[in-house]
Amino acid sequence: MNSTILSIIDKGESVGKKIIQRQSLTEQIKSILIERIVNGALCPGDRLKELQIAEEFGTSQAPVREAIRSLQALGYVQHIPHVGALVKTFSSKEMEEAHQVREALEGHCLLLANIAIEELAAELDRQVEAMRMAMLENDIKAFSMADNLFHRTIVKFSGNNNMLVIWDSLRIHLQVMLTLVETSMPLDELYALHPPIVASLKRGHRENAARFLAEHYRKITASLNKSEEYTGLFD
């Protein structure tokens, strides 16, 4: 084969590898930043500094910039002119709407005929126990993780990937919600909202489980309203 053609192919492969490597790095940075937002390491209003993040990961600012743009498209980050990229701060209306979507999704999933109730109850039981242990140790991070997994499991058991994608897109709302609720509702009260849901499922009472779930969200909303009044964390 002509040496010029080989050279072009080699250059093409080299460029392709660099693009793949950069895309891979961008995805890694994006995933880590999402995890930090979801677990509360990055809070609403925190600024994402490209140079600082690039130095942390030992890379140029290009993949960091791409990761931040991706987070903005996903709704995790907002860009403020002359300020930069900030972890998104939600209005009380946005939070209320997110809760309505979550409640509707989870409640609908509990009523689906194709859900294996016994298996779902067993999995939720494990998360309730994890919440109980975290509550006893006053481990807010562990409690939040178990709480998040409890609600995600309900949707996951539906077998409907589209609903799970929608639910996952609201994870940051959940973290903001938990951060605010923990300022006004003791962990034992938050924990107590979950066992009745599982107990109803164990008895095969889907409708009761859905009602307890709705009650869970009503109490959370009431606590959020109280938290908003005192913390002023909403925009």
Q: Which of 37, 58, 87 is at the close of a domain? A: 87
Q: Are residues 130 and 225 in the same domain?
A: yes
C-alpha distance across the termini of the chain, in Å: 64
Structure confidence at residue 173 (pLDDT): 72
Q: Say if residue 226 is in the same domain as residue 133.
A: yes
As a whole number, the mean pLDDT across the chain is 82
| pLDDT, position 6 | 44
Residue 115 shares a structural domain with residue 206 = yes
Residue 177: burial class (beta carbons within 10 Å; 0-12, 13-18, 19+): buried
CA distances from 204 to 111, 114, 121, 153, 200 (A): 11, 13, 10, 17, 6
Q: What is the pTM for the complete model shown?
A: 0.71
- Domain, as residue range, for 174: 92-231
For 143-200, write each residue's pLDDT tens digit: 888 998 999 999 999 989 999 888 888 877 776 666 666 666 788 999 999 999 999 9
CATH number of the domain encompassing residue 74: 1.10.10.10
Can you give the pLDDT at residue 124?
97
pLDDT at 181: 66
Q: Provide the number of structural domains found in the chain.
A: 2
Same domain, residue pair 83 and 102: no
Residue at which a domain ends, from 87, 121, 142 = 87
Residues of the chain with pLDDT under 70: 1-23, 38-40, 175-184, 224, 227-235
What is the predicted pLDDT for the residue at 21?
58
* Claim to verify: residue 81 and residue 110 sit in the same structural domain: no
90 DSSP assignment: P
